[in-house]
A and B are shown apart, each in its own frame.
Chain A
Amino acid sequence: MDATEPVEMLRDASSVAPGPLVYRTHLPVRIWHWINALSIFVMLMSGATIFNAHPRLYWGAYGANFDEPWLVIGRRGQEGFVNLLGLEIPTTGFLGFTENSIRAFPPLVTIPNYYSLAEGRQWHFFFAWVLVISAVLYLLYSILSKHLSRDLALQPHERKFGHLWHDLKQHARLRFPKGEAARAYNPLQKIAYLGVIFGLIPLVVLTGLTMSPMLNAAFPWLLDLFGGRQSARSIHFLCAGGFAAFTVIHLFMVVLAGPINELRSMVTGWYRLPAERMEDRP
């Protein structure tokens, strides 16, 4: 694995001279982070259980076994496969068929860890409330405390293409801001967080609501917005994929940036600024 190299580099850099501890993350943000982390995990895993009940996705208002799906996670005998837009990818051992399951998603990634649609739904709909209520409170706090405008919004100079391109290249090289520059979120980080807060979360909630037949009667415009119930179900699943991808990258970044320091800042609020690299010093 090449991942050891940047870690070594960071260790060398931090051994030069540790930066000062700064108070970076306020309590409401930390509380929301952990409630939200739990909610996302439960939602993804109980959502996997629900998906297992009918592991096929369609576009449009209707879609069932005789209709054309765009995604299927299935099995043929002891072979698991994913069929994406007609392209079949073998996934035996991961999806569709594993040593201890014949469902689309194996028990390792589902809640409960056996197949029960009823229980999966109970978990999903309870944590949907947790997710939505905590997200609304967080958003209110972020607006009122200016966490949103001060810490999350891209500052004017960060909105320039050149700046973003530079940041992107630095990320690709796994070189992260040091010293004072590390006090604030960097532009790509801000975009990722804003994407989750204003993109993924509202989209996943609205497509979720669109799958409720009772709420279809209350808010029929949601069906029009997403192009029908099965389209909403597909978008909901794609959002789940977005959350899973965000989580993986987020955890990867935490590990690269120094897991102890990052965890401390998200638990206590105190973050040690990474020492500046020699070559970066003016």
Chain B
Amino acid sequence: MTLITRRAALAGATGLLMAGCDRITTSPTVRKVLTLGEKATLSSQKLVTGRNALAQEFTRADLSPRFRVNGNRLPASADYAAHMTNGFADWELEVAGLVTRPLAMTLAQLKAAPQRTQITRHDCVEGWSAIGEWTGVPLGLLLRHAGVSAKAQYVVFHCADDFSGIPFYESIDMVEAFHPQTILAHTMNRQALSVGHGAPIRLRAERQLGYKQAKYVMKIEAVASLDGIYGGKGGYWEDHSGYQWNAGI
């Protein structure tokens, strides 16, 4: 009988292989090289996609029978709880940063502004998709109204929810911010946006994956750079889970 059984040899070889793989996947140099792919993807997507090229829109017959909730389902803050109790009646959306006229808009004011309704597909980074109907104010309209500066490169969305005390935020660039289908939605499938889906408003940036679609948006900030904002990578998932800032893929 041999001391080294085939099973043990296989397990040993597997262990060695896995350790080798581990050294490659955790190497900082390798990770740096891999980000080149991310840059190439973002540049070429920008190159082939027109600024105003639209995401596919559907009809009501195409709606997902049930649109699953994802991410946080209920922000934990006391402030949010108070807003929820009185139906967001004195809630205000703050528009700040590189703007000449900072705004504070109530839900009623947002609903009284010009609206856009679109039936679009929500694609989670995990792979699933759901189709929903969204109504809201075009973000570009709000930014123009606030007199956004030409120096602004990104729009940051500060949200009411958090993960283990770390606030959720996201960001998009000015092309996506002024895209005609980028709206701050307060209505989903013809009903007031539910708490699970991000009440009172959530972002819909239809050419981006789900993690960009910030829920519970409290404040919008126009900035020249993402440096120094929270972790500096442009979003909660980007800072803490290594997701790419570009959610167009």
User: Among A62, A65, A125, A220, which residue has its beta carbon within 8 angstroms of that of B41?
Assistant: A125
B62 within 8 A of A: yes
Please indicate the chain A residues that have their CB under 8 angstroms from the CB of B66 in the complex. 66
User: Among A50, A64, A129, A217, which residue has its beta carbon within 8 angstroms of that of B68?
Assistant: A64
A8 to B17, CA, bound (A): 31
Q: Quick one: which of A88-134 are within 8 Å of B by CB?
A: 107-108, 111-113, 116-119, 121-123, 125-129
A75 to B248, CA, bound (A): 31
Interface range on chain A (Cβ under 8 Å from partner): 35 or more
With A53-B126, A53-B127, A229-B129 given, is the CB distance from A126 to B49 under 8 Å?
A: no
Of chain A, the residue at the smallest CB distance from B179 is: A217
**0 or 1 for each of B4-38: is its CB under 8 Å from A? (1 = yes):** 00000000001000100110011000010111111
Asked if residues B37 and A112 are in contact (CB atoms below 8 Å), the reply is no
A233 within 8 A of B: yes
With A64-B68, A229-B121 given, is the CB distance from A122 to B38 under 8 Å?
A: yes
User: Among B25, B129, B130, which residue has its beta carbon within 8 angstroms of that of A112?
Assistant: B25
Interface range on chain B (Cβ under 8 Å from partner): 35 or more
A223 to B120, CA, bound (A): 13
A15 within 8 A of B: no
From B82-90, B152-160, B221-229, B237-245, give the one contacting chain A: B237-245
User: Among A62, A65, A113, A214, which residue has its beta carbon within 8 angstroms of that of B249?
Assistant: A214
B141 within 8 A of A: no
Please indicate the chain A residues that have their CB under 8 angstroms from the CB of B53 in the complex. 217-218
A213 to B127, CA, bound (A): 12
Asked if residues B38 and A125 are in contact (CB atoms below 8 Å), the reply is yes
Please indicate the chain A residues that have their CB under 8 angstroms from the CB of B209 in the complex. 213
A216 within 8 A of B: yes
- Smallest CB separation, B209 vs chain A (Å): 6
Please indicate the chain B residues that have their CB under 8 angstroms from the CB of A212 in the complex. 45, 248-249
User: Among A53, A62, A123, which residue has its beta carbon within 8 angstroms of that of B129?
Assistant: A62
Please indicate the chain A residues that have their CB under 8 angstroms from the CB of B207 in the complex. 213-214, 216-217
A contact face: mostly helix, strand, loop, or mixed: helix
Most chain A beta carbons < 10 A, residue from B68, B207, B208: B207
| Interface residues in chain B, defined as those with a beta carbon under 8 Å from any beta carbon in chain A | 14, 18, 21-22, 25-26, 31, 33-38, 40-41, 45, 48-50, 53-56, 58, 62, 64-68, 121, 123-131, 206-209, 237, 241-244, 247-249
Sample of 15 more A-B contacts, CB < 8 Å, known A65-B68, A212-B249, A214-B49:
A51-B127, A61-B62, A62-B129, A64-B129, A64-B130, A117-B241, A117-B243, A122-B38, A122-B244, A211-B123, A213-B121, A213-B248, A215-B248, A216-B207, A218-B45
Pull 30 A–B residue pairs with CB atoms less than 8 Å apart, ordered by A. A53-B126, A54-B127, A61-B62, A61-B131, A62-B131, A64-B68, A64-B124, A64-B128, A108-B14, A112-B21, A113-B21, A113-B25, A116-B242, A118-B237, A119-B242, A122-B35, A122-B37, A123-B34, A125-B37, A125-B244, A126-B34, A128-B37, A213-B121, A213-B123, A213-B249, A214-B45, A214-B207, A214-B249, A219-B48, A229-B121
